[in-house]
Chain A
Amino acid sequence: QITLKESGPTLVKPTQTLTLTCTFSEFSLSTSGVGVGWIRQPPEKALEWLALIYWNDDKRYRPSLKSRLTITKDTSKNQVVLTMTNMDPVDTATYYCAHTGGYYKVDYWGPGTLVTVSS
């Protein structure tokens, strides 16, 4: 059974950098076609893709946030890390880690972690 779980701070101050880690099991990010990404959902708002990294280290970023985002993977640790710089209160959201086998079909989700940006 594939599982993913997000970890990181629940509270960050404006201008700080957020680092979130997704730790997963029962699949390998070295398998062709597999991707792991990050999706966020501000309170009472819609889902939005932030970034995705593929098995071959190819990466995709949300254009409006590209300058602030970095996604990396550590295949040996079964982890994907997302960093987001210059955090702002509008970045307050639940951040989900997601597994896709292609074409942005998310077949497995982490439980999500609520990150609040406040001084």
Chain B
Amino acid sequence: QSALTQPPSASGSPGQSVTISCTGTSSDVGGYNFVSWYQQHPGKAPKLMIYEVSKRPSGVPDRFSGSKSGNTASLTVSGLQAEDEADYYCSSYAGTNILGVFGTGTKVTVL
């Protein structure tokens, strides 16, 4: 059960968009539409931003969107704001009898 692969870092200027990839296998990301994304500010617990690939929980701005193609899921943050600077983690369901798997994490910097 290996971690999902994310780029270590991503950046953009205020108002721009940034997209983070999350690559797994056909046993996790590619096999199910149960990919979630979490935002984590320093010293804080993660916060659910996207679930089931592209759904947003109540209260999450529509600047955050998710998608999936094959074994790779993506999170796009449009109209970057200073408060979007954080670490982002993807996660995927991987089957009935095993735990879910997290990604390696991506640090997003707002320039």
In the complex, B12 has a CB within 8 A of chain A:
no
Of B45-53, B62-70, B71-79, the segment with at least 4 beta carbons within 8 Å of chain A is B45-53
Contact A60 to B98, CB < 8 A, known contacts A103-B93, A104-B93, A107-B48: yes
How many A residues, CB 8 Å from partner? Answer: 22
A63 contact set on B, CB distance < 8 A: 1, 98
Q: Which of A43-74 contact B (CB under 8 A)?
A: 46-49, 51-52, 60-63
> Do B99 and A46 touch across chains, with their CB atoms under 8 A apart?
no
Q: How many A-B residue pairs have CB under 8 A?
A: 64
Q: Which one of A37, A47, A52 has the greatest number of beta carbons of chain B within 10 Å?
A: A47
- Contact partners of B51 in chain A: CB under 8 A: 105, 107
Residues in chain A near residue B101, CB distance under 8 A: 49
Q: Are the C-beta atoms of A104 and B100 separated by less than 8 Å?
A: yes
- What distance in Å separates the Cβ of B43 from its nearest Cβ neighbour in chain A? 9
**Cα distance, A24 to B36, chains bound together (Å):** 23
Task: Determine how close the nearest CB of chain B comes to the CB of A4; give it in whole angstroms.
Answer: 9
State which of A37, A103, A110 has its C-beta within 8 Å of the C-beta of B45. Answer: A110
Which residues of B are at the interface with A, using a C-beta cutoff of 8 A? 1, 3, 32, 34, 36, 38, 45-48, 51-52, 57, 89, 91-93, 97-105
Closest 5 CB pairs of A and B: A104-B100, A109-B45, A103-B34, A49-B99, A103-B93
